[in-house]
A and B are shown apart, each in its own frame.
Chain A
Amino acid sequence: MDQSALYLSLEEPRRSDHLWRYTPWRRVHPTGEVKEIPKLGSPEVKIMSIDGEEITEGISLGRDFRPTENLPEMDTVTDSFLRSITEDSRLVLNVEKGFASDKPIVLDINTGESMCALHLSLNIGSLAEFELVTRIRGNSSWFGLLRTGFIDDGCNINDVFLSVLESGTMLRVDSIGIGRDSNIRVGTISSGTENTKSDLRYKMSQKGGSLWVLGSILSTGSMHIDHHIEIQHEAPETFSRLSWNSACGGSSRTIGTGMLRVADGAKGSDAGQLFHNLLLSEKAEADSIPELEVLEHEVIGCGHGTANGPIDENQLFYLESRGLSTKEARDSLISAFLNSTLSEMGSGKLHEWLIDLLSDELEALKG
Chain B
Amino acid sequence: MESNEEARQAVGEYKAGWHDSENSTIRFDFGLSEEVVREISKLKDEPEWMTNLRVKAYHHFVDRPMPTWGNTPMLDSIDFDRICYYLRSSKATEKDWEDVPDEIRNTFDRLGIPEAEQKWLSGVTAQYESEAVYHSIREDLQEQGVIFLDMDSGLREYPEIVKKWFCSVVPLTDNKFSALNTAVWSGGSFIYVPKGVHVEMPVQAYFRINAKNMGQFERTLIIADEGSSIHYVEGCTAPTYSTDSLHSAVVELVALPGSHIRYSTIQNWSANVYNLVTKRGIAHKNSKIEWVDGNIGSKLTMKYPAVILKGEGAHAEVISVAYSGEGQHQDAGAKIHHLASNTTSKILSKSISKNGGRGSYRGIVNVSPKAENCKLNVVCDALILDGESRSDTYPTMEVSNPTAHCEHEASVSKVSDEQIFYLMSRGHSEEEALAMVVNGFFEPFTRELPMEYAVELNQLMALEMEGSIG
| A interface residues (Cβ-Cβ under 8 A, vs B) | 14, 16-18, 264, 277, 279-299, 301-310
Contact = CB atoms under 8 A, between A and B. Distances in A.
11 contacts: A18-B394, A282-B402, A285-B399, A286-B399, A287-B398, A299-B413, A302-B411, A304-B408, A306-B395, A306-B397, A308-B397
Interface stretch (B11-19, B147-155, B315-323, B385-393): B385-393
Contacts of B387: 264, 296-298
Nearest to A288: B397
A367 to B, nearest CB: 13
B409 A305 contact: yes
Given A294-B384, A304-B411, A306-B408, 17 more contacts: A16-B68, A279-B401, A281-B402, A285-B369, A285-B398, A287-B398, A289-B394, A292-B391, A293-B391, A294-B392, A297-B384, A298-B414, A302-B411, A304-B409, A305-B408, A306-B409, A308-B404
B419 interface: no
B400 to A, nearest CB: 4
B403 A310 contact: yes
Given A287-B396, A291-B394, A297-B385, A282 B68 contact: no
B50 interface: no
A315 to B, nearest CB: 14
Given A264-B387, A287-B396, A306-B407, A292 B401 contact: no
Contact of B399 (A287, A293, A297): A287
Nearest to A271: B412
Contacts of A18: 394, 396
A309 B394 CA distance: 21
| Main DSSP-derived SS at the B contact region | strand
Contacts of B388: 264
B410 interface: yes
A306 to B, nearest CB: 4
A304 B393 contact: yes
Contacts of A299: 384, 412-414
Given A292-B412, A305-B409, A285 B393 contact: no
Contact of A309 (B68, B386, B398, B405): B405
Given A294-B392, A295-B390, A297-B389, A14 B406 contact: no
Contacts of A308: 397, 399, 404-406
B415 to A, nearest CB: 9
Contact of B401 (A282, A290, A305): A282
A297 B386 contact: yes
B254 to A, nearest CB: 29
A281 B401 CA distance: 8
A281 B400 CA distance: 10
Contacts of A290: 393, 395, 408, 410
A142 to B, nearest CB: 27
Contacts of B398: 285, 287
Contacts of A16: 67-69
Given A295-B390, A305-B410, A279 B404 contact: yes
A301 B413 contact: yes
A277 B413 contact: no
B382 interface: yes
Contacts of B396: 18, 287-289
The 5 lowest CB-CB distance pairs between A and B, nearest first, are A279-B402, A297-B384, A303-B411, A305-B409, A308-B406
B69 to A, nearest CB: 5
Contact of B402 (A284, A289, A293, A306): A284
Contacts of A284: 402
B388 to A, nearest CB: 8
B382 A283 contact: no
B412 A282 contact: no
A303 B411 CA distance: 4
Q: Which of B67, B392, B397, B411 has the most CB of A within 10 A?
A: B397
Given A296-B387, A305-B408, A282 B369 contact: yes
Contacts of B410: 290, 292, 303-305
Given A280-B402, A309-B404, A291 B413 contact: no
Interface in B353-404: 369, 382, 384-404
Contacts of B386: 297
A302 B390 CA distance: 12
Nearest to B358: A295
Contacts of B413: 299, 301-302
Contacts of A295: 390
B382 to A, nearest CB: 7
A87 to B, nearest CB: 32
Contacts of A14: 68
B368 to A, nearest CB: 10
Nearest to A292: B393
A17 B413 CA distance: 27
B407 A307 contact: yes
